[in-house]
Chains A and B, each alone.
Chain A
Amino acid sequence: MSTAYKTVTDIAGPLLMVDGVEGVTYDELCEVELVSGRKILGKVLESREGVAVVQLFESAQGAATEGTKVRFLARAFQIGVSEDILGRVFSGSGRPIDGGPDIVPEKRLDINGVPINPFTREYPDDFIQTGISTIDVLNTLVRGQKLPIFSGAGLPHNQLAAMIARQARVLNREEVESGKAAEGNEGAKESGEKFAVVFAAMGVTFEEAQYFQQEFERTGALARAVLFVNTADNPVVERIATPRLALTTAEYLAFEKGYHVTVILTDMTNYCEALREVSAARKEVPGRRGYPGYLYTDLATIYERAGRIRGKEGSITQIPILTMPEDDVTHPIPDLTGYITEGQIRLDRGLHQKGIFPPVIPMGSLSRLKGKAQGEGKTRADHSGLDAQLTAAYARGSEVRELAVILGESSLNEVDKTYLKFADRFEKEFITQGEQENRSIFLSLAIGWDLLTELPKEELKRVKPQHIEQYLKKQS
């Protein structure tokens, strides 16, 4: 049994200083027992000769310098995992909160993970059909990708994330070859692959957390889901551990048990704020907007835990959600996220206010991995050209629309008018779809080609002539 130190000297916010310690290592987990008998977990942020700085994962309320006992556990924060973990709900620090028994662990894993050697990675290039046109055609999601949703307060990012989790599947070869995809999730069931969803909620409201849980229950996905829930009223610093617990679980399922795991992390903004809180309590030199200078590195240790590994069956696809303060994409959180993740799906308030769902705006949304997941053998040969053409045309159409506001529609030339009409139809027919509507990629492509009939043929510079010949319906 390790020694219990009663030598707490300082308590400040989530930090605790313990004096006279020996043999304490950096990042070591410790258990703090308050006078009341309540036990909370903490980890060592700094270990000096004789002094340890401990960060608590729960509120320090009720802690006193006198009488508090600290026990160092000689290991980093670990989570016990086994396949039984599927279908369970845990707190943000990994305790079961669904009334079920504790997990009998097959093994215990350090939640910090270890960086994947880039040499052993497999480049992700499997097309995932989400059933959402704006994602499938324009911002193709790829198995093993990390693709965040950049949203704002009050936008329907949860619905979108739930939709992706529910509908995402990979086309089989016959579907690709025939150019016809089975409806709904039929195709997925036949593939024989194992799927799982790992969901981590950080500082979201009770209702938001419930929304996901109920969605999973309703669609029967709960049996193959693992939930880690830290709601807004749970301890702030616990949030620092939550995504790591989730990703460690995901890595276990994906790379040891062969599951294709979709990880949803919401809301990364709350996570970053928790990080700022700890940094401020440590009196560190702040970087931009008070966030610590190591925010980029810290976020990278979360986001980079996605992908595929050579010779392993499973994969981790990450969908982090973050709400941009004031819808500002230059805010440090979306900014640094965008530099690490492989693109982003951006939700737009303007579209949302027009009643368009899902309000995914092509300008500013991007999937960096789409190149290798589009085209022949993956979707269809015309895919990437059509993607570029639709995006470019919609961008031009939006510009024309702005111009029309100033000058009046009558002052537009003929070509510009066609772009304006294109943009309107694009929003109504291509972007807009029902929350339960699961479009096959081929349907989405067909809608895209139909919209291109609005434009003069000379304007179609991004699609190949033979594809125009093949897919563009003749204008009457």
Chain B
Amino acid sequence: MSTHPTIVKVAGPLVVAKGMKDAKMYEVVRVSKENLIGEVVELHGDRASIQVYEETSGIGPGEPIKCTGETLSVELAPGLLMSFYDGIQRPLELIEQEAKSPYITRGINVPGLDRTRRWEFKAVAKPGDTMEEGDILGTVQETTLIEHKIMVPPGVRGTVKTIVSGSFVIEDIIAVLDTPQGKKEITMLQRWPIRIPRPCKKKLIPTEPLVTGTRILDTLFPVARGGAGAIPGPFGAGKTVTQQSLAKFCDAKVIVYIGCGERGNEMTDVLKEFPELEDPNSGEPLMKRTVLIANTSNMPVAAREASVYTGITIAEYYRDMGYDVALMADSTSRWAEAMREMSGRLEEMPGEEGYPAYLGSRTAGFYERAGSVQCLGDDQRKGSLTVIGAVSPPGGDFSEPVTQNTLRVTKVFWALDAKLAYKRHFPSINWLQSYSLYADNLGSYYSKEIASDFSQNRNRAMGILQEESKLEEIVRLVGTDALSPKEQLTLETAKMIREDFLFQNAFDRVDAYTSLRKQYRILRAILTFMDAAKPVIEQEDFEFSKLQQMPVKEEISKAHFIAEKEVEEKFDALEEKIRKQAATLRIQKMGTMRSSDDREFSSVSA
């Protein structure tokens, strides 16, 4: 009998097995005596190609394969927050305990969620209630920040037969539903296959911004709650710092951070820092709203491919509870490369640069899982999932396939620029190349919530920066002297926008986070300066350096250190000062004019 599934070929993370007639696509299998985790990715008759999520060294033909009958899924229940997982939802802490070594050894089988921890379940539904999919049965206070909602799983509807509040482990039955198909027992623990998006009632157009506290992002290139954005940039331009400061300061309720094929030390840093850092909105440790997924570059490549799906499924689950969720994936290029590697081993026909032909559709499929939605369930609750993907284009060349495929489906593009990073201008986001297609969608939010002229100021600032780049070309050819005073003022204002507004130190406690209102006031102060300076420089023979030496300019440059509490009064005072000092320049100017006129007059009369 040769029906037992056995290995016939091993080449790196790809294993081919025969006797696999009953296997299904994307079914999870256990490979060899070592019990390595794998997933079926191709079927030919009774042969199956399996991508293995662990190192295959020492595995050979003839060894057994066990089919599990399940597709690759994540476990969903209280306990996800504050977890630190590998690409296939194994807690790294448990791996350490199980492996009894600082290394990730093979064949470790640990559950994604703690089976023994007890949670206080509070029933919301009552016996006799009619429930549909997505309706909330009860709640669990998962961390001080997040109330976890236990929902009726998708595809289930019926009447509540029994439901009990109390202290339970996640596998206990907390409710029984009478459904048309019979009795359905419901536990807090639910599973969902990672490659299938979780359903929602309907998708909505995003209309609110995700506030990140980073000035260039919020003011110039905002991303909407439920939007999708890309951060491409060469190495050293600050992708990871930007992603991390988004994870720290953005005002989403739940953060899922995926370190996909990145550096081990970086993940250790996140792990060490997040429990210490405070959420600027609640004052609680950031870790309490965060799920971390790390598949570092030296961990098996196939699990890297799975890690982004593991992350987004967890994120969707919290979205379904009605939360605003933000997901950061750093970096999606590594995910695409993992696909390329597996595709190469499967001997598929390559598309552009060796990437598989389905790169575009997979990328689109991933980013489309972002969105602002009306959740399943009767209570009209809304949730959103914002996805920010870092892209690492080879050589910083944005024309490569991963960047291009990503740009096709994301509406926000934050182009990182190595030249800015060299000048230590951070965040080194290029203001000429970047764009946000949400700026118009969000316009009414800004004018209602922040200030009526918010968008107007934003457009003006963008215009000044555009103008600056044109003028700089002229300066490069003929020098500053050839410019008119008005043009010089534009350059001066642009410099202030760059250095005093866009430049932001992610490592400074005060500077790292700026509220929308304060962002508005800083920018307005700079524009006030420009307006006040205009009549001054239009005076004849005005020495431009006098404007540059105005003492108030130094105050503007320190304005981003003004405490959030004092924003209104301090900025009012600052604007007043700007106008006053500009006015004195005018009077002085007129004064000197008069005296020189006098002299001329007297010399003539002499």
Contact = CB atoms under 8 A, between A and B. Distances in A.
Interface in B411-442: 418, 421-425
B265 A411 contact: no
A332 B394 contact: yes
Contacts of B11: 26, 45-47
A182 B57 CA distance: 49
B58 interface: yes
Contacts of A145: 265
A23 B60 contact: yes
B263 interface: yes
Given A116-B103, A117-B104, A48 B61 contact: yes
Interface string B297-317: 111010000000000000000
A114 B341 contact: no
A294 B263 contact: no
B61 A338 contact: no
Given A48-B9, A303-B297, 17 more contacts: A50-B61, A110-B57, A115-B299, A119-B84, A120-B96, A144-B265, A288-B394, A294-B344, A296-B334, A297-B298, A300-B298, A307-B264, A338-B236, A340-B297, A363-B423, A371-B507, A384-B507
B485 to A, nearest CB: 15
19 contacts: A24-B60, A26-B56, A28-B60, A48-B61, A110-B57, A117-B103, A121-B264, A287-B354, A293-B340, A293-B344, A297-B301, A307-B265, A332-B394, A339-B392, A343-B236, A362-B422, A384-B507, A391-B423, A391-B424
Interface string A295-317: 01100110111010110100000
Given A116-B264, A117-B95, A407 B350 contact: no
A113 B103 CA distance: 9
Contact of B397 (A330, A342, A363, A368): A330
Given A119-B93, A332-B394, A396 B423 contact: yes
A49 interface: yes
B8 interface: yes
Given A115-B296, A342-B263, A23 B102 contact: no
Q: Sorted from nearest, which 9 A-B pairs have the closest CB atoms? A: A330-B395, A25-B60, A300-B297, A27-B57, A304-B298, A119-B92, A338-B235, A120-B102, A114-B103
Contact of A26 (B60, B479, B554): B60
B499 to A, nearest CB: 7
Interface stretch (B156-164, B198-206, B266-274, B376-384): B266-274
A312 B56 contact: no
A124 interface: yes
A310 B298 contact: no
Given A112-B57, A123-B265, A411-B481, A330 B396 contact: yes
Contacts of A24: 60-61
Given A28-B60, A284-B344, A296-B297, A392 B264 contact: no
B123 interface: no
A118 interface: yes
Nearest to B272: A123
Interface of A: 22-28, 45-50, 76, 110, 112-124, 144-145, 255, 284-288, 293-294, 296-297, 300-301, 303-305, 307, 309-310, 312, 329-332, 335-336, 338-340, 342-344, 362-364, 366, 368-369, 371, 384, 388, 391-392, 395-396, 403, 406-407, 411, 413, 458, 461-462
Contact of A329 (B294, B296, B301, B395): B395
Interface of B: 8-12, 55-62, 84, 92-93, 95-96, 99, 101-105, 234-236, 259, 261, 263-269, 271-272, 294, 296-299, 301, 331, 334, 337-338, 340-341, 344, 347, 350, 353-354, 392, 394-397, 418, 421-425, 476-481, 499, 507, 554, 557
Contacts of A305: 298
A363 B234 CA distance: 14
Given A76-B57, A122-B268, A301-B298, A335 B263 contact: no
A339 B396 CA distance: 11
Contact of B354 (A286, A307, A336): A286
B93 A304 contact: no
Nearest to B32: A25
A153 B6 CA distance: 51
Nearest to B549: A458
A285 B481 contact: no
A279 to B, nearest CB: 10
Contacts of B340: 287, 293
Contacts of A304: 263-264, 296-298
B307 to A, nearest CB: 12
B297 A293 contact: no
B271 A118 contact: yes
Contacts of B350: 285
A43 to B, nearest CB: 10
Contacts of B344: 284-285, 293-294
Among B271, B297, B301, B397, which residue has the most Cβ atoms of chain A within 10 A? B297
B57 A26 contact: yes
A75 to B, nearest CB: 8
A333 B410 CA distance: 29
A402 to B, nearest CB: 9
Contacts of B105: 114
Contacts of B480: 413
A430 B322 CA distance: 57
A391 B425 CA distance: 10
Nearest to A343: B236
Nearest to A311: B102
Nearest to A145: B265
A371 to B, nearest CB: 6
Contacts of B57: 25-27, 76, 110, 112
Contact of B61 (A45, A49, A120, A287): A49
Contacts of A123: 265, 268-269, 272
A369 B517 CA distance: 33
Contact of A407 (B269, B392, B418, B479): B479
A310 B268 CA distance: 11
A359 to B, nearest CB: 16
Contacts of A124: 265
B397 to A, nearest CB: 7
A45 B62 CA distance: 17
A253 to B, nearest CB: 15
A470 B218 CA distance: 36
A28 B80 CA distance: 39
Contact of A116 (B102, B337, B396, B425): B102
Residue from the set B61, B93, B259, B341 with the largest chain A CB neighbour count within 10 Å? B61
B104 A115 contact: yes
Contacts of B341: 293-294, 297
A27 B58 contact: yes
A151 B62 CA distance: 48
A332 B354 CA distance: 14
Contacts of A366: 236, 421
Contacts of A48: 8-9, 61
Given A45-B11, A121-B264, A371-B507, A28 B58 contact: yes
A329 B272 CA distance: 32
Contacts of A22: 62
A286 B554 CA distance: 55
B147 to A, nearest CB: 27
